[in-house]
Amino acid sequence: MQVVFHKNGWYLGEWLISYQDGGFKRRGLCGTFFIFLNEITGAQLEWIVFAFVSSIYTLLFFLLIKFFTQKKNTLLTISLILLPAGMGMVLKDPTVAAKKEIVIFLFYLIYCIYLESHKKIRDIFITLFIIIAILNHEAAFFYIPFVSFTYFIRDKASSQVKIKKILLYHIIPAVVTMLILYKFGYSISSENSIQFLQNHGLNLVLKGIYGYDPHYNVLNFYQAHLYGYLTYLISLFFASLTFFIYYKFNKIKISRKFLIIQAIFLLPLFYIAYDWGRWINIFFTLLTLFTLGEKQLNSSLKQDIVALVLILFNSLWTMLLFTQGFMTFPALDALIKKVYYFIYFKIHNLL
């Protein structure tokens, strides 16, 4: 809907950032390809984007179902897949379906499948996927630890060899790509971006990303919506609790070093971009895909009961892309936020 009928500049517009209307810029890779297709075929841009995104989702769910059926399917696994802060967010807020991170999810899932099958994949292809993902959306850079950690855990090479490859084929290419983007890249929106799209048959209903001020003071925005952003901690707590329970029942341990490194990588993203729900969603979706590749134990009656409780409870809450970090039905929402606001108020007064 946001892509074809609403023609929203925050969703459709993001896919159509291109190099043709202002030179080399951030997030312009896919849009350049779509504009090229429009020019040689005459097909409407919104339908080109819709066909591409639909194809990506079709392939993603095909591979996900295939990957899922190879494992022991338990109710606890379903609780991860339906998590509102992760893959289940698309059921609560369908607008996230039109976001570019679907490409990140597909690349990561393919990588997990290859590592799971013990098939050889050339390191240069991993580098290529990383560069494509970053050129599609620079947010991919901040999730590089997921790629490196998954490789380190599941590849059978020696630790020394793996660390060397992570530096050469993951970290260095990602850093160089980001430096090039921010050193030589032009602004996402040029003076003629809207007119350029109109010349290609598209009239955006909302300017969206093309009207965004790159010098916008996000700190003032955070300050004005401080309490709403702090409620993301509630969503983080319930999402983390779901994973903790899953790991405990399946006797899975995840490296604290990885979590710390990944958190450090994400800090700049949370500072410069205010759609925190999006970044949290990417984190828990990637963590879900990683976890599905881990060994699962046989389910028990106790585990199934706990899983049903998790599924039921998690179905009652959601988080928005920005400003509202946690929402549920009025009675429970009021109760949780009264307690939360009391704690927040006390800490705020102390500071």
Q: Is residue 6, in this structure, part of any structural domain at all?
A: no
The residue behind tokens 């003076």 is 191
Nearest in space to 288 (alpha carbons), one of 52, 26, 85 = 85
d(CA 18, CA 138): 14
Q: Is residue 5, in this structure, part of any structural domain at all?
A: no
Q: Is residue 194, in this structure, part of any structural domain at all?
A: yes
Nearest in space to 83 (alpha carbons), one of 229, 243, 230, 231 = 243
Question: pLDDT of 225-245, one tens digit each?
Answer: 888 898 899 999 999 999 999
d(CA 210, CA 251): 48
**What is the pTM assigned to this prediction?**
0.93
Question: pLDDT of 301-343, one tens digit each?
Answer: 899 999 999 999 999 999 999 888 988 887 777 777 777 767 6
Average pLDDT in the 55-66 region?
A: 93
Q: Is residue 270, in this structure, part of any structural domain at all?
A: yes
Question: 120 is written with which tokens?
Answer: 């050889």
Q: Is residue 3, in this structure, part of any structural domain at all?
A: no
Which residues, in sequence order, are CB contacts of 243 under 8 Å at separation 6+?
A: 80, 284, 287, 291
Q: Is residue 4, in this structure, part of any structural domain at all?
A: no
Q: Using the 8-state DSSP alphabet, how is residue 219 labeled?
A: H
Q: Is residue 149, in this structure, part of any structural domain at all?
A: yes
Strand partners, 109: none
The residue behind tokens 């597909």 is 106
Question: pLDDT of 21-38, one tens digit each?
Answer: 888 999 999 999 999 999
Q: Is residue 1, in this structure, part of any structural domain at all?
A: no
Could you give the number of structural domains in the chain?
A: 1
Structural domain boundaries enclosing 216: 12-350
Which residues, in sequence order, are CB contacts of 294 under 8 Å at separation 6+?
A: 250, 252
